[in-house]
Chains A and B, each alone.
Chain A
């Protein structure tokens, strides 16, 4: 199977800037991108540098960007890329992190976010079982964190995430999934504190780009993030823009069945929050001029709105029951 790999090279001691080199390969049909890079290193240019270890999608070392999408290269068949009809398979290092050399990036910021979520069990010291006994944890109590456990810290989602790309403060999907694993651990005693801290680490900065849902290990962090948000609101951690937006949105829809967009912004920010409303007032005015700012007073309820009310009422009732 013939293929051409176009690989970004950068050897800091001799290159001023990254540049591409093309390699023509003829490999077995089942060869992966990692196989291709290994072949180049062993037979063409041993200075081609990349991280790798287990070559079976368990260690998380070999993540790179292939044709614009971050992947674990040991489980990315070249044939799949060829089927996508490209002449060259372009391989670049992961996004966001500084390139040390060729395809190796500096993962220090990634690991800092990992540490920021306090990724270790913090049990109640009064509830620790004896030396020869385990905590009783029912199988169903393990279910919420089951997918979080799969995470091999490969950084594929971190590299593709639209938010981490522009925001160094955002903890990123892997750290949030790790946080979820501890928030849902019945043996941990810091649930509320963790959730509070997560607000500052960017719990509400996830923009639903869902790149992380293409996780090679099916961790699917966006689900964990949504679950953390739900728990955060349920715990009453609502003194932040994200939670207020979520609550305002839900109540806004309740009033008429359809979102009243113009009202949503002041409802999120607070009608009296002049310092927040003032800077965006010009934007609102410009949109109004284009007829893009529907006046709240003309907002109509959806047909058969009473059905909507009944649904909301049913859920209000169940949450009362829970209390």
Chain B
């Protein structure tokens, strides 16, 4: 939406979304958005924290753009109407967050993403931007390395249509649902990433998946890092703040991958409580919890039966964020002409091997704005590319095949199996043996997917069909993640291997790129990391 709001100033713009924009998963972001707004802080500090947080895989020019433009985009959001929480003298307040040298996370209680989503949707309404709501894109149309638009179907009517465009910005979010027990919504199936990949655009650094340290055991729902930012402790079964052993300086506010691994180690060593560690907010007091963290209190009560005012919340790491995505430059431009990407679906790369909390919302706004501007400017300067014949017919035929009853494989069965494999072989700690076996299983699932069946034969609002398409996207991405993880023989950021436990800059300080080859499997290439100011160093918290 940030891209749309920007682009609509320059060119005729439409937003295409498979759900109503207000249902987007950005609304679930809780803790905040980073920016060096404080007089005692500097964007350069934020820049360094981001690069270090990325375990030195982030492109430093991209990180510079992210952090330098951060204060401006925050004020812009505020001018649009976002109601940030305030200091006593009426300025935008900030709270501490993981991996940050200074409290620079701007927030709205613990519903930051929700409020920013509302604000941007309100801007869409204000500027009367066209929205193709509940329109499911099945194909990106790329011919001769030029993006021509998209093909998809309207969920309500079931009608297929091609939508031609001079520029397409992919902002479809992450792919957390390839894993079992994820913080992500059920719609986070990586659609845009898979569409770009299939259409010839490269994906980057897909092996890097962030496991958020504090998710509810029952359903994987997120409990914001903001809780730790407000002072919550992580305890093991012995009541010990175990982070003191893993990150003696930052403790609970170390970088997320460090905390997630620490938790996994504690639980594996038998110091967990029913497979969890305990997030203790009790010492914050009811008043502060109600003011700063009211939503997570409700989440804990509703979904774990625990009131954090009185008892610690059992939490464990869960798949949360896809650092990788569609490779693009500082303006969101991919190697395909007219194709852009922004947000979690993109890989600029600002997060490298691990993302700092609060930088994700920031990325969507900074790079959403840039992509919107770039795409809009591009659209003003070119004529409409020809939309090729046959794409819509082909897409319709594909649907008919999926509905013709000849398939034998059920969507939910394949999906569960995929998620189990990803969970066991590609979680926090990875090994060659498990990954190789896991990758084989994923490839077998992709094969079985060609015989997928959907029993709901209706054309009107067929969500079973939608889930079948989404499964196809996820399987492709699962194979890329698995291939990448197996291939990268080092540990860095969110990619931790027991067999290669250290970071290997001499061999692996590079980005992995994934192209879909003719046989449908990923082909790997590499690209250098842009290092400008900060020499890679040992990363401790």
A and B touch in the complex (CB under 8 A): yes
A47 engages B28 (CB within 8 Å): no
Q: A59-B23, A100-B156, A149-B111 are in contact. Are A128 and B79 (CB under 8 A)?
A: yes
A84 nearest CB across to chain B (Å): 18
A162 at the interface (CB under 8 A from B): no
Residues of B within 8 A of A136 (CB): 89-91
Q: A53-B23, A134-B78, A149-B108 are in contact. Are A43 and B72 (CB under 8 A)?
A: no
B436 at the interface (CB under 8 A from A): no
B25 at the interface (CB under 8 A from A): yes
B460 engages A100 (CB within 8 Å): yes
Contacting B72 at CB < 8 Å: which of A104, A131, A145?
A131
Cα–Cα distance between A116 and B296 once the two chains are bound (Å): 32
Contacting A at CB under 8 A, from B119-170, are 122-123, 125-126, 156
Residues of A within 8 A of B246 (CB): none
Q: A55-B186, A75-B302 are in contact. Are A119 and B111 (CB under 8 A)?
A: no
Contacting A120 at CB < 8 Å: which of B81, B298, B454?
B81
B85 nearest CB across to chain A (Å): 7
Cα–Cα distance between A101 and B456 once the two chains are bound (Å): 12
B91 engages A131 (CB within 8 Å): no
B10 at the interface (CB under 8 A from A): no
Cα–Cα distance between A138 and B78 once the two chains are bound (Å): 14
B88 at the interface (CB under 8 A from A): yes
Residues of B within 8 A of A104 (CB): 461
Segment among A11-19, A191-199, A266-274 that sits at the interface with chain B = A11-19
B309 nearest CB across to chain A (Å): 16
Cα–Cα distance between A266 and B187 once the two chains are bound (Å): 57
Contacting B at CB under 8 A, from A34-54, are 41-43, 45-47, 49-54
B460 engages A61 (CB within 8 Å): no
A76 nearest CB across to chain B (Å): 10
Contacting B at CB under 8 A, from A45-98, are 45-47, 49-61, 75
Residues of A within 8 A of B28 (CB): 54, 56, 58-59
Cα–Cα distance between A129 and B90 once the two chains are bound (Å): 13
Encode contact with A along B212-228: 1 for CB under 8 Å, 0 otherwise: 00000011011000000
Output the nearest chain A residue to B298 by Cβ-Cβ distance. Answer: A57
Residues of A within 8 A of B108 (CB): 149
B27 engages A58 (CB within 8 Å): yes
A153 at the interface (CB under 8 A from B): yes
Residues of A within 8 A of B222 (CB): 56
Contacting B at CB under 8 A, from A109-159, are 111, 114-115, 119-121, 123, 128-129, 131-139, 141-142, 145, 149-150, 152-153
Q: Give the A-B pair count, Cβ closer than 8 A.
A: 159
B457 nearest CB across to chain A (Å): 8
A128 nearest CB across to chain B (Å): 6
B531 at the interface (CB under 8 A from A): no
A interface, by DSSP: helix, strand, loop or mixed? loop
Cα–Cα distance between A57 and B219 once the two chains are bound (Å): 12
B299 at the interface (CB under 8 A from A): yes
B20 engages A107 (CB within 8 Å): yes
A187 at the interface (CB under 8 A from B): yes
A47 engages B464 (CB within 8 Å): yes
A178 nearest CB across to chain B (Å): 9
Encode contact with A along B238-250: 1 for CB under 8 Å, 0 otherwise: 0000000000000
Among the interface residues A49, A123, A128, A145, which one has the most CB atoms of the partner chain B within 10 A?
A49
B79 engages A129 (CB within 8 Å): yes
Encode contact with A along B299-313: 1 for CB under 8 Å, 0 otherwise: 100110100000000
B264 at the interface (CB under 8 A from A): no
Contacting B83 at CB < 8 Å: which of A47, A55, A185?
A185
Output the nearest chain A residue to B80 by Cβ-Cβ distance. Answer: A121
B458 engages A47 (CB within 8 Å): yes
Residues of A within 8 A of B455 (CB): 45-47
A132 engages B123 (CB within 8 Å): no
A153 engages B460 (CB within 8 Å): no
A30 at the interface (CB under 8 A from B): yes
B92 engages A134 (CB within 8 Å): yes
B27 engages A152 (CB within 8 Å): yes
B81 engages A41 (CB within 8 Å): no
Encode contact with A along B418-458: 1 for CB under 8 Å, 0 otherwise: 00000000000000000000000000000000000011111
Cα–Cα distance between A4 and B154 once the two chains are bound (Å): 33
Cα–Cα distance between A11 and B158 once the two chains are bound (Å): 13
Residues of A within 8 A of B81 (CB): 120-121, 185, 187
Output the nearest chain A residue to B92 by Cβ-Cβ distance. Answer: A134
Cα–Cα distance between A114 and B122 once the two chains are bound (Å): 10
B88 engages A139 (CB within 8 Å): yes
Q: A47-B456, A57-B298 are in contact. Are A132 and B75 (CB under 8 A)?
A: yes
A19 nearest CB across to chain B (Å): 15
B69 nearest CB across to chain A (Å): 11
Residues of B within 8 A of A53 (CB): 19, 23, 25, 185-187
Cα–Cα distance between A135 and B76 once the two chains are bound (Å): 11
Residues of A within 8 A of B89 (CB): 136, 138
Residues of B within 8 A of A132 (CB): 71-72, 75
Residues of A within 8 A of B19 (CB): 51, 53, 59, 61
B22 at the interface (CB under 8 A from A): yes
Output the nearest chain A residue to B22 by Cβ-Cβ distance. Answer: A153
Cα–Cα distance between A141 and B85 once the two chains are bound (Å): 11
B462 at the interface (CB under 8 A from A): yes
Q: A46-B411, A54-B185, A56-B303 are in contact. Are A123 and B79 (CB under 8 A)?
A: yes
Cα–Cα distance between A175 and B489 once the two chains are bound (Å): 54
B488 at the interface (CB under 8 A from A): no
Among the interface residues A30, A134, A185, which one has the most CB atoms of the partner chain B within 10 A?
A134
Q: A11-B458, A60-B22, A120-B125 are in contact. Are A137 and B79 (CB under 8 A)?
A: no
B274 at the interface (CB under 8 A from A): no
Contacting A131 at CB < 8 Å: which of B23, B75, B80?
B75
A49 engages B462 (CB within 8 Å): yes
Cα–Cα distance between A12 and B111 once the two chains are bound (Å): 38
Output the nearest chain A residue to B37 by Cβ-Cβ distance. Answer: A134
Cα–Cα distance between A150 and B22 once the two chains are bound (Å): 13
Cα–Cα distance between A187 and B156 once the two chains are bound (Å): 39
B408 nearest CB across to chain A (Å): 14
B464 engages A55 (CB within 8 Å): no
B288 at the interface (CB under 8 A from A): no
B115 at the interface (CB under 8 A from A): yes
B461 engages A100 (CB within 8 Å): yes
B84 at the interface (CB under 8 A from A): yes
Contacting B460 at CB < 8 Å: which of A12, A52, A131?
A12
A58 engages B114 (CB within 8 Å): yes
A75 engages B303 (CB within 8 Å): yes
Residues of B within 8 A of A54 (CB): 23, 25, 27-28, 185-186
Residues of A within 8 A of B85 (CB): 139, 142
A56 engages B23 (CB within 8 Å): no
Residues of A within 8 A of B83 (CB): 137, 142, 145, 149, 185
Contacting A59 at CB < 8 Å: which of B72, B185, B303, B463?
B185
Contacting A41 at CB < 8 Å: which of B92, B122, B464?
B464
Contacting A at CB under 8 A, from B87-101, are 87-92
Q: A120-B81, A138-B86 are in contact. Are A52 and B458 (CB under 8 A)?
A: no
B399 at the interface (CB under 8 A from A): no
B406 at the interface (CB under 8 A from A): no
B487 at the interface (CB under 8 A from A): no
B459 at the interface (CB under 8 A from A): yes
Cα–Cα distance between A114 and B48 once the two chains are bound (Å): 43
Output the nearest chain A residue to B188 by Cβ-Cβ distance. Answer: A53
B412 at the interface (CB under 8 A from A): yes
CB pairs A–B below 8 angstroms (9 shown): A13-B458, A30-B218, A56-B219, A56-B221, A100-B156, A100-B460, A104-B461, A145-B83, A152-B27
Pairs of residues from A and B, 5 with the lowest C-beta to C-beta distance, nearest first = A121-B81, A47-B456, A42-B412, A136-B90, A46-B464
- Known A57-B299, A59-B28, A149-B115; 4 more pairs at CB < 8 Å: A47-B457, A50-B463, A133-B75, A138-B89
